Amino acid sequence: MSRTPPKPLAHCKRHPSAPAGWRCDGCGASLCPECVEAKRMQTVDLLVCRLCGGRAETLLVHRSEQASYADRLGQVWRYPFTRQGLMVAAGLGAMMAFVGFMTNVTLIVFRLAPAAIGAGIFWGSFFAVMRSSTRGESEVPTPDFGDVFDDGLVPALKGLLATSVVWGSLLLYLVFVGGWDVFQYVDRLLSDPMFYMTGRFQSIPGETLLHDPIAWVLGLASLVYLPMALMMAMTSNSLLDIFNPLKALHSMLRLGRDYAVALGALFTLGLVYAAVHLVSSSLREVAFEVIVSRWLAQVLECLVFFAMARVLGLLLYTRGDAMGYGDPGDYITSVLPADATPRTSLRVDPAPLPSREPATSTPGAPSPEARLEELSALVQARNVPQALALYSELSFLPKASITPAVHLFVGQAAAAEGDNDLAVRALESAADSAPDDPLAPRALVLLARVLGERMQEAARARDVYRYIVDRYPDTDASRFAQARLPPTS
Ligand SMILES: [Zn+2]
Ligand SMILES: [Zn+2]
């Protein structure tokens, strides 16, 4: 029952209290949304590091590391109490109350139909909540009983089979160990006219189990099994999997602590249900307005069952891969929630960053080295106009004396400013000066886009794309380039 504890999440290099959602390709810094900038190049947004202009890679983690299952469960009690949740509970409660009323008043043969409909409605909604939570949705789904078979009968059968791990095992125990004579019981039942008139069952000698410690162990073990049986009923292709204890045990061990957390949550909700049931039983007995009180009782119970189904759905959403459910890649997500978006558009940082080395100020004419340092300071400070001006002035220097990141920054900025010639020069320099730098294919993609989409030089753009595909195979850049080449090339 162990799994590696979640890795501590990285924090931003500049803002140590902020969790990082990106890592810079260029300088290796962990970055928070403040420190990442989305730069619009024509139609694509590129995420870049605001420290160095390098590409910011989104940090990926497993869903259980983004937020643990226990953390996600913290909000589970709120789940039914949304406008949508209450409306669905009100609707289902009305249907269940009506169906329940029908099962009480008619002969046994007529009772079976509403009882089956009731089971279909209950389990159809229960599995619908589980499934929607497994998909990561946060609202109670509106139930859809459009298909009697798939939305009612199948879920009812699944619910019956899954819960049979509890009632079935106790019945079997009663028969094989408790010495309960089933045939005699069925005989007596079928010869009892009251059974046909009111559907009254004879009592099953279940109280003998109360004094049998083995029956208690069996009952508790089957209750521990029940949540797994319900999850298997929802996720497995074969319903027989429910009765494969080895598979169930394997999944429980892999879920480890999280399965125990789910059991604890369900036990707590079971106690809530018991309390609600006490209230709802007395509501059902209120003589006047009988339908209204039945309805209220059903609504209260629905709300508890929504929360129970949510507990299981969230477990599958967070850790379903441990049960072999879905594609492992589905469980990998960005560290920060999707609404943590970086800043868009290019703008000058109000608080310029200190340059990596303090610029040596030389009196009189500054040396090329000093001017290069000035350039990298301007780039770090996102001072676009001055950086572009200084870069143009320094064009007499060998390309390699400027880092690829600075070339790339200037290329991106010039393209954003509409200075296509400068953009082409800077982007070519970025790729030429360090062809093995990971920034090189990126610079070439931008170069091809500037050529093809801004300067209408389709042939040159195609040459660049072809070069990217040959020189940098199996990179994002080559896939991007391949998609822009005619299929025959
Ligand atoms: Zn960086
Ligand atoms: Zn930051």
How confident is the model at residue 249, as a pLDDT?
94
Torsion of CA 213, 217, 218, 219, to 10 degrees: 100
How confident is the model at residue 106, as a pLDDT?
59
**Domain total for the chain?**
3
The count of C-alpha atoms lying within 13 angstroms of the C-alpha of 145, restricted to the half-sphere facing its C-beta, is: 19
Residues 226 and 374 in one domain: no
Residues 28 and 112 in one domain: no
Residues 282 and 168 in one domain: yes
- Domain housing 21: 1-59+335-345
In this structure, is residue 186 part of a structural domain?
Answer: yes
How confident is the model at residue 97, as a pLDDT?
85
Return the number of other C-beta atoms located less than 10 Å from residue 375's C-beta: 23
Ligand closest to Cα of 380 equals 1
Residues 177 and 241 in one domain: yes
Ligand closest to Cα of 26 equals 1
Separation CA 7–CA 9 (nearest Å): 6
Residues 196 and 265 in one domain: yes
Separation CA 70–CA 254 (nearest Å): 16
Residues 145 and 84 in one domain: yes
Cα(50) to centroid(ligand 2), Å: 9
Ligand closest to Cα of 19 equals 2
Alpha-carbon distances of 203 from 45, 51, 172, rounded to whole Å: 70, 76, 16
Length of the chain: 489
Burial letters 189-214, b for 16+ CB under 10 A, else e: eeeeeebeeebeeeeeeeeebeeeee
Cα(27) to centroid(ligand 2), Å: 14
Helices 458-471 and 439-449 meet at what angle, rounded to 10?
Answer: 160
181: left (phi over 0), alpha (psi -120 to 50) or beta: beta
Residues 267 and 300 in one domain: yes
In this structure, is residue 237 part of a structural domain?
Answer: yes
Separation CA 303–CA 261 (nearest Å): 20
Cα(66) to centroid(ligand 1), Å: 23
In this structure, is residue 350 part of a structural domain?
Answer: no
How confident is the model at residue 373, as a pLDDT?
87
In this structure, is residue 20 part of a structural domain?
Answer: yes
In this structure, is residue 86 part of a structural domain?
Answer: yes
How confident is the model at residue 359, as a pLDDT?
42
Return the number of other C-beta atoms located less than 10 Å from residue 328's C-beta: 10
Cα(230) to centroid(ligand 1), Å: 48
Ligand closest to Cα of 10 equals 2
CA nearest 348: which of 382, 380, 309, 373?
A: 382
What residues have their beta carbon closer than 5 A to ion ligand 1? 24, 26-27, 49, 51-52, 54
Question: Domain end: 345, 380, 412, which one?
Answer: 345
Residues 44 and 108 in one domain: no
Cα(56) to centroid(ligand 2), Å: 12
Tokens of 287: 């003589």
Separation CA 386–CA 390 (nearest Å): 6
Separation CA 316–CA 130 (nearest Å): 9
Write out the chain's pLDDT in tens, 489 residues. Answer: 334 444 567 889 898 888 898 999 889 999 998 898 877 655 556 788 988 888 888 888 888 988 899 999 988 989 999 999 999 999 999 998 888 877 776 566 677 788 888 899 999 999 999 999 998 888 999 888 888 788 888 899 999 999 998 888 888 888 887 777 777 777 777 777 666 666 566 666 667 777 788 888 988 999 999 999 999 999 987 888 889 989 999 999 999 999 999 999 999 999 999 998 888 777 767 655 567 878 888 899 999 999 999 999 999 999 999 998 888 888 888 888 766 666 554 433 333 344 444 444 444 567 788 888 888 888 888 888 888 888 988 887 787 888 888 999 999 888 888 888 899 989 988 888 888 888 888 899 889 988 888 888 888 888 888 888 888 888 888 888 888 887 654
How confident is the model at residue 361, as a pLDDT?
43
Ligand closest to Cα of 21 equals 2
How confident is the model at residue 364, as a pLDDT?
56
Ligand closest to Cα of 408 equals 1
Cα(359) to centroid(ligand 2), Å: 24
Residues 220 and 88 in one domain: yes
Question: Domain end: 310, 345, 380, which one?
Answer: 345
In this structure, is residue 359 part of a structural domain?
Answer: no
Cα(380) to centroid(ligand 2), Å: 14
Return the number of other C-beta atoms located less than 10 Å from residue 135's C-beta: 12
In this structure, is residue 211 part of a structural domain?
Answer: yes
Strand partners, 37: 48, 343
Q: How much is the pTM?
A: 0.64
Residues 210 and 295 in one domain: yes
Cα(40) to centroid(ligand 2), Å: 20
Beta-carbon contacts of residue 476 (< 8 Å; ≥ 6 apart): 441
Phi, psi of 358 (to 5 degrees): -60, 130
Cα(424) to centroid(ligand 1), Å: 22
- Residue 443 sits in a domain whose CATH number is 1.25.40.10
Ligand closest to Cα of 32 equals 2
Q: Are 96 and 121 in contact (CB under 8 A)?
A: yes
Residues 110 and 237 in one domain: yes
Cα(32) to centroid(ligand 2), Å: 4
Ligand closest to Cα of 51 equals 1
Cα(412) to centroid(ligand 1), Å: 15
Residues 301 and 340 in one domain: no
